[in-house]
Each structure stands twice: as C-alpha cells, then as structure tokens.
Amino acid sequence: MLQLSQPVSILRMIGPSYLSKLKNLEIETIEDLLYHIPFRYDNYSLVSKVSDLQEGERVTVIGTIKFIKNIYTRHGRKIQKAELEDDTGKIDIVWYNQPFLITILHTGTKVSIAGEVRWFGKRLSFESPDYEIIQNFTHHTQLIHSGRLVPVYPETAGISSKWLRSRIYSLLFKFSPQIEEFLPGNILRKFQLMDEKEAIFSIHFPADYDLAQKARKRLEFDELLTLSLFAQINRRKREDEKTNLKFKVHEFGEKISKFIINLPFALTSAQKKSVEEIVTDLKSDKPMNRLLEGDVGSGKTVVATISMYMAYLNGYSSVLMAPTEILAKQHYDTISGFLSPYGITTNLVTAKNKGPRNKKRTKSAAVTIGTHALLSKNLRFPKLGLVVIDEQQRFGVEQRAQIREKGNSPHSLTMTATPIPRTIALTIYADLDLSVIDEMPLGRTTVKTWVVPSEKRRAAYNWIRKQILSSIPRNQVFIVCPFIEASESLTTVKAATIEYESLKSEIFPDLRLGLLHGRMSSGVKDKTLSDFKEGKLDILVSTPVVEVGIDIPNATIMVIEAADRFGLAQLHQLRGRVGRRNIPSYCLLFTEKENASTLKRLKFLESTFSGPKLAELDLELRGPGELFGLRQHGSPGLKIASFSDIKLIEDSKSAAVEILSTDIQLSNYPLLQKKIQSLSGKNVASN
Ligand code: ADP
Ligand code: MG
C-alpha cells in the first residue's frame, strides 16, 4: 500500500516532468501535496440556469457545447468562441489564446462552466470561464472545478490550481484513511478544533465558508503547536547542555572597550544593551542561543562583530552565515574592515569562492563569513566558538543546526530584521533568548514618506527623474511591485515584468532600468543586484523578494506599488532599504484602493518610523476578517498561520505546555513526535 510519506514520483497521475515543478512549491511527498493549502476560494456555489443569468453574477452553468471554434483577430490573436446550451437557453463563451480547447471540448460535450457573466457586445457571455467536463451527470456528480467553493492554490510555472485540484481530489479519497488524528480528545475539545481528517477535506473542498474557516483554524493550530512544542523541547534540552566555551570577558575588558571606542561611531544605547546581554551569555557555562531583532539599519552587524572579537580574544573562531552571496560579500567587507586593524584574518566562503586556497585560509581565519556554502562537509572551523546567522528566517532549522554542529556546542547568535511582536517571538521561538535593538543610530534621516494619490502619478515620475539626474553619483530608485497571489506566483512575476517593460519604454526610456524577481537564477539575481549596487542601474523594478539586508548606499527613493497589499511592518522594512546615509530619502506609496480606511492605514507610515510599533498597529488593524486575504505575507516563517492570530498562538502554547507537562518525551504522541522531527529536517521558516 502506498504511504503518505512516499514521494509523489510513485503516483501514476504525476509524470516526471512535474517533479521539479512541484519541488518549487515544496511538494515532494504525497503528504506535502495533501497539505498544499489553498489561499482562497472562488465562490461558484451558485448553480444557475441560462435563462436566469444576470450580469455580474459569478455562477456555474451546466449544459452542452453547441459549437466551439478558433477565430483569428486582426491582431493575430486567437480567440475561442463557443456556445453553451441548457434546457432554458443559450449563452456565449469566449476564451483567449487557448487554441487547444477545441481539441478538448466538442459539439455535444457536456460541461460545467464557472465564471462571471458579462455583457460582451450585446449578448451576455462568459469570458475565460473555468470548465469541467462531465461524463454522466446525475445529482450525485461531484463537481470540483465548478459548482462549489473552488480552492485556489499557490501555483508555479506549469502547475495550475486546476491541475492541483484534480490530483488532490483523487488523493484525498485514496489516502484519507491514513490521515490520523494526533491530538488528544481533551485538547480538541478545549480549543474547539476540527478533527484532522475532516480539516484536510474541508480545507480543499469545503461545503461552505464556515467549514473552510474551521479547517483553517485547525491547520494553523497544528502549525503553531508544532513550532511551540519544538521550541519548548529545545529549550529544555539546552538547559541541560553545558559548554566548555565559558568566555572570559573581564580579563579582556580594556581591549573590548578600546575596540568599541575606536569604532567610527558611538553605539546606541540599544546596541550597548544587546552587547551586555550577549556578554552575560558568553560568560555562562551554557551555550548562548540568542535572537537579535532590529530594524533594517539599526546596526546589528557591529553587535555581531563585537561578539566575534570577544571569541577571538578567547582564542576561538567564529562563522557568520548569510542567506545570499551578495549579503555575505557585504558583511565580509564591513566586518573585515572592523577587524583587520587588530590583525584578525577574515575569510569569505561562497559557492563561487571556495577553491583549495580558500579552504586553507579558512583553516586559519579567525572569522569566516559565507553563504550556506559554509555547510559543505569538508569545511572545518577549528575551535569554533561562535556561530552568527543573519536573516535567520531565511534558513531552515536544519541548516541552522548544521552550522552549529561544525563546533562543539558553540554559542549562537541569530539576527533578524523581521519585527515580530515580543510576546509572539517568545512563544514561537521559546528556545531563543531575545535582544531587541529598538533604536536607530543617531543622525539617521527618517525616510520621508507619502501616500501618493493616483492623479499625481505622472508628477511623481517626473520628480523621480529629477531626483535621479540631479546628483553625482546618481540617486537610485527601487520600485517594488506587490505579490499578486499568496506566494511569488507567475502572475506576480508577470506583473513586475510588465511594469518593468512599460516603465522602460514609456516613462523612463532615458534611464537605466533593471528587473529582479525570485524566479531568476541566483546568478542573474546577484548580477543585477551588484550592477545596481555599483550604480550601473538607476532604477530597480522588483517583486518584494529583494534582500532586506542589502545596503545600496545611493538608493534614496523607494516606490511601492499596490501598497495596500502589504502590512505596515512590511512596508516599513521595504522603505528601510533607502535612507542609509544622511541624505534625504523618500518612500512613495501608491494604491488603487483609495478608500478611507486603506488611506488611513497607509498614512501611519507618514508619521510612524518604528518597526515594532508598526507591527503592533498591524495586529490591531488587520482583523480576523481578512482570513483568506493576502495577510499571510505579514508572517515570515509561518506557512499557514499568522502572527496576527494572537489568540491562536496563545492557545497553541498552552496546549504545548499541557501536553509536555505529563509527557516530556511525547511518548504517547508518536505522530506529534514525527511532525516535530520533520520540522527539524525541513525549512519550517522558509520565506
Ligand atoms: P542592520 O541592522 O540592518 O544589519 P547594519 O548593521 O547593516 O544594519 O548597519 C547599518 C549601517 O549603520 C551601517 O553602515 C553601520 O556601519 C551603521 N551603524 C551601525 N551602528 C551605528 C551607530 N551606532 N551609529 C552610526 N552608524 C551606525
Ligand atoms: Mg543586516
């Protein structure tokens, strides 16, 4: 019998060419596919007769194709025209550029059509509706692409929601006996949770929105509970762990003070406080496991550097792992600049930069900075005392564990610019101690921010051109296009690409534009970013994937399209990419949704410049009403749940405490145990 844990490749319904595409969606096993969660539903539950159709309705109509044909327009486009008939009348259908449809749908094909009814010329029509062929229609026939709440999934090139829906539907029936309940009845009752099997059914094919919500709540709870258990178990483990890396700090007090005094700036008091908290950890006989949270530009790197210097003084080496080549290089430049006056050798290890010579140097370097290339088996770091991980949410638990295993219980410091409210950080990352840099270095200019009304768009573009051309070197501009779907789907990439093309040909033909999105190879991405960094491009059009930590000194303008789709904290992070020098910098927010509440929300950015405060505002302003919206983006590190579910986060934590209070080993919960194990093997915190 096939098992949930087996790879999708053994399914006959999934051809080999789909495997790598599915991998893009992080789907490798049958279970992954069943747990690929829709982010919204198209409501096609209303099934109507042709004669009852009204303009603007989103409906399903079941009928027979009368005819279908390809028509070529004057512009060389192919249109598919069809007519659908039921026992009350006929309606037109048009599709665009899907010539293969005439080989699928024929005169006489019985079909269920779902879409919006519109005037097309003088006749009511369906425009590009979804369709579903029906072999023998009885009232028992289960429609899956029409006639119901139709799930819409995160997609990738070559894998549509329709494709996923069909596969998931048939798998659900085959595998549902294997989906087992893994929570005890008292927890299910106490937190009013749906049964797991039912939740998996209802998240994909809910009978109504209410069931969809209950299913979602259950799956979010699962995710939060697993994280919470994982964190608490790790915390306990760590409390038992001893390290022989008890750093001496007092002995080197003078040297450390001197290092700090010789920095080109004075530390902010928040930086000082973080350094003190780190010192306390380093002196103790337990390995440090600390999360350093601070806005973009708050100066986390120097805090990490001071910690590395302390390791060096104690005779230990350090590594710093960054998520991208370009960030690693940036850290290398900064940190080696700080350390070389003290005769400390720093080395850079990336995929491009790890020849044998480099390896030799790694052996002797006190500080090694790199990408995940650092994890390579044959790299060793003698006397590794400190591991620093930048942008921790970009790495999986496993990678974070692997780098630590390069040493013998080394101290570890992870850094993030994601403003996670404190209470939530303490729940989800209960295994970490938290230091927050909640203050920007003095003299940092605040980024002047405007919500720009649409009638001023042209004027804004003119102003931007002036800004670019008015200084030497030129000021540079980011233009960020939003996520269109829940993840960076093709639609999103297309939107950024279209924006790029039109800006390039129509608005800024005289300037140098670059395009950046997550579907590019990392080589192309790095090249574009370094071109931008070196001033070879004036404007970078991108999806929100641009690395948050990236330091482009001449970037002074951040333009964000469809700003309403982002959370405030996220917008704040984006704007943190400009204003890094004391040059006036600007953030322009565009939105098509010019209603009072959206404008009011966005205008907070004109007056509020603290990431944590904006994160709190996000929590207040984005109610549970947005359950199926684009809200997920506000919560990096979570796949289904969201940081704004405070109640659910608290519930899941107390459930975790309750479960562990009687069963620390989870020996009565083998399934839960398995889930937690797979957490450490997978990128739980991918985003
Ligand atoms: P992040 O927290 O985003 O990683 P960085 O560490 O890259 O921020 O710091 C951003 C910039 O601010 C760097 O150019 C750094 O040298 C500078 N910086 C850091 N701390 C201070 C400070 N206390 N005063 C002035 N500038 C500082
Ligand atoms: Mg940084």
What mean pLDDT is predicted for residues 323-327? 85
Any atom of ligand 1 within 6 Å of the Cβ of 267: yes
Neighbours of 536 (CB within 10 A): 11
Ligand 2 centre to CA of 390 (Å) is 7
Which of 52-66, 67-81, 543-557 is predicted with the least confidence, judged by mean pLDDT? 543-557
Instruction: Looking at the structure, tell me whether residues 266 and 359 fall in a common domain.
Output: yes
Ligand 1 centre to CA of 334 (Å) is 10
Tell me what pLDDT residue 230 has: 87
H-helix or E-strand containing 133? strand 130-133
pLDDT tens for 177-221 read 999 999 999 999 999 999 999 999 999 999 999 999 999 999 999
Query: How many angstroms separate the CA atoms of 539 and 454, rounded?
Result: 20
**Pocket mutation for ligand 1, best pick of 273, 298, 414, 439 (most atoms within 8 Å of C-beta):** 298
Domain membership of residue 664 (yes or no) is no
Tell me what pLDDT residue 486 has: 44
What mean pLDDT is predicted for residues 146-164? 89
Residue 629 pLDDT exceeds 70: no
Tell me what pLDDT residue 39 has: 84
Query: How many angstroms separate the CA atoms of 404 and 412, rounded?
Result: 7
CATH code of residue 137: 2.40.50.140
pLDDT class for 380, splitting at 50, 70, 90? confident
**Angle, CA 639 vertex, CA 636 and CA 641 arms, to 5°:** 90
Domain membership of residue 112 (yes or no) is yes
Compare 580 and 310 and report the one with higher pLDDT. Answer: 310
Tell me which residue has its CA closest to atom 20 in ligand 1.
Answer: 299
Compare 144 and 570 and report the one with higher pLDDT. Answer: 144
Tell me what pLDDT residue 683 has: 40
pLDDT class for 483, splitting at 50, 70, 90? low
Residue 146 pLDDT exceeds 50: yes
What mean pLDDT is predicted for residues 310-323? 95
Domain boundary among 608, 634, 662: 608
Strands 47-48 and 555-560: unpaired
What mean pLDDT is predicted for residues 460-481? 94
Tell me what pLDDT residue 400 has: 80
Any atom of ligand 1 within 6 Å of the Cβ of 611: no
Tell me which residue has its CA closest to atom 19 in ligand 1.
Answer: 299
Strands 367-370 and 317-321: parallel
Which tokens belong to 67?
A: 């005819």
Domain membership of residue 515 (yes or no) is yes
CATH code of residue 602: 3.40.50.300
Closest approach atom of ligand 1 to CA 551: 7
In a 13 Å sphere around the CA of 80, the CA atoms on its Cβ side amount to 20
Q: How far is CA 40 from CA 114, 136, 196, 627, 683, in A?
A: 16, 29, 20, 9, 24
**Pocket mutation for ligand 1, best pick of 261, 298, 302, 324 (most atoms within 8 Å of C-beta):** 302
Residue 338 pLDDT exceeds 60: yes
Query: How many angstroms separate the CA atoms of 386 and 311, rounded?
Result: 7
In 44-88, DSSP assigns E strands to 47-48, 58-72, 78-86
How many separate domains does the chain show?
A: 4
Instruction: Looking at the structure, tell me whether residues 61 and 90 fall in a common domain.
Output: yes
Which of 26-30, 207-211, 359-363, 456-460 is predicted with the least confidence, judged by mean pLDDT? 359-363
What percentage of the chain carries pLDDT values higher than 70?
A: 90
Identity of residue 359? K
Query: How many angstroms separate the CA atoms of 471 and 250, rounded?
Result: 49
What mean pLDDT is predicted for residues 276-300? 91
Instruction: Looking at the structure, tell me whether residues 50 and 34 fall in a common domain.
Output: no
| Residue in 217, 211, 216, 213 with CA at minimum distance from that of residue 191 | 217
| Residue in 609, 595, 589, 579 with CA at minimum distance from that of residue 460 | 589
What mean pLDDT is predicted for residues 455-480? 94
State CA 255 to chain mean position distance: 41
DSSP code string of 317-361: EEEEE-SSHHHHHHHHHHHHHHHGGGT--EEEE-TTS--HHHHHH
Instruction: Looking at the structure, tell me whether residues 163 and 115 fall in a common domain.
Output: no
Q: Determine phi and psi for 673, rounding to 5 degrees.
A: -60, -45
Tell me what pLDDT residue 465 has: 96
State CA 600 to chain mean position distance: 26
Neighbours of 468 (CB within 10 A): 21
| Residue in 569, 563, 277 with CA at minimum distance from that of residue 420 | 569
Residue 494 pLDDT exceeds 90: no
Compare 497 and 33 and report the one with higher pLDDT. Answer: 33
**Pocket mutation for ligand 1, best pick of 269, 275, 301 (most atoms within 8 Å of C-beta):** 301
Residue 279 pLDDT exceeds 80: yes
Instruction: Looking at the structure, tell me whether residues 136 and 162 fall in a common domain.
Output: no
| Residue in 378, 369, 366 with CA at minimum distance from that of residue 350 | 369
Instruction: Looking at the structure, tell me whether residues 548 and 458 fall in a common domain.
Output: yes
**The overall pTM is greater than 0.75:** no
Domain membership of residue 376 (yes or no) is yes
Tell me if 184 sits within 8 A of 18, measured CB to CB. no
Domain membership of residue 433 (yes or no) is no
Any atom of ligand 1 within 6 Å of the Cβ of 549: yes
Tell me what pLDDT residue 360 has: 57
Any atom of ligand 1 within 6 Å of the Cβ of 320: no
Range of the domain at 402: 247-283+299-416
Ligand 1 centre to CA of 518 (Å) is 27
**Average pLDDT along the chain:** 86
Domain membership of residue 75 (yes or no) is yes
Query: How many angstroms separate the CA atoms of 305 and 303, rounded?
Result: 5
Tell me what pLDDT residue 497 has: 86
pLDDT tens for 80-123 read 999 999 999 999 999 988 889 999 999 999 999 999 999 888 88
Compare 160 and 357 and report the one with higher pLDDT. Answer: 160
Any atom of ligand 1 within 6 Å of the Cβ of 306: no
Domain membership of residue 199 (yes or no) is no
Identity of residue 295? D
pLDDT tens for 575-624 read 888 887 778 899 999 988 878 888 988 999 999 887 777 877 776 665 43
Tell me if 403 sits within 8 A of 629, measured CB to CB. no
Determine the angle formed by the axes of helices 397-404 and 670-681, rounding to 10 degrees: 70
Query: How many angstroms separate the CA atoms of 226 and 214, rounded?
Result: 18
Any atom of ligand 1 within 6 Å of the Cβ of 417: yes
Tell me what pLDDT residue 627 has: 28
Instruction: Looking at the structure, tell me whether residues 32 and 78 fall in a common domain.
Output: no
| Residue in 633, 523, 493 with CA at minimum distance from that of residue 156 | 493
Domain membership of residue 632 (yes or no) is no
Tell me what pLDDT residue 685 has: 36
State CA 240 to chain mean position distance: 34
Closest approach atom of ligand 1 to CA 576: 3
Residue 353 pLDDT exceeds 50: yes
Instruction: Looking at the structure, tell me whether residues 457 and 529 fall in a common domain.
Output: yes
Query: How many angstroms separate the CA atoms of 440 and 446, rounded?
Result: 10
Instruction: Looking at the structure, tell me whether residues 268 and 411 fall in a common domain.
Output: yes
Which of 126-130, 303-307, 360-364, 504-508 is predicted with the least confidence, judged by mean pLDDT? 360-364
Instruction: Looking at the structure, tell me whether residues 265 and 384 fall in a common domain.
Output: yes
Ligand nearest to the CA of 263: 1
What percentage of the chain carries pLDDT values higher than 90?
A: 49
Ligand 1 centre to CA of 137 (Å) is 66
pLDDT tens for 289-299 read 999 998 878 89
Instruction: Looking at the structure, tell me whether residues 410 and 550 fall in a common domain.
Output: no
| Residue in 269, 328, 261 with CA at minimum distance from that of residue 301 | 328
Query: How many angstroms separate the CA atoms of 85 and 111, rounded?
Result: 10
What mean pLDDT is predicted for residues 630-653? 67
Count, in order, helices (H) and strands (E) of the chain. Answer: 22, 22
In 522-593, DSSP assigns E strands to 539-542, 555-560, 586-590
Instruction: Looking at the structure, tell me whether residues 387 and 267 fall in a common domain.
Output: yes
Ligand 2 centre to CA of 264 (Å) is 17
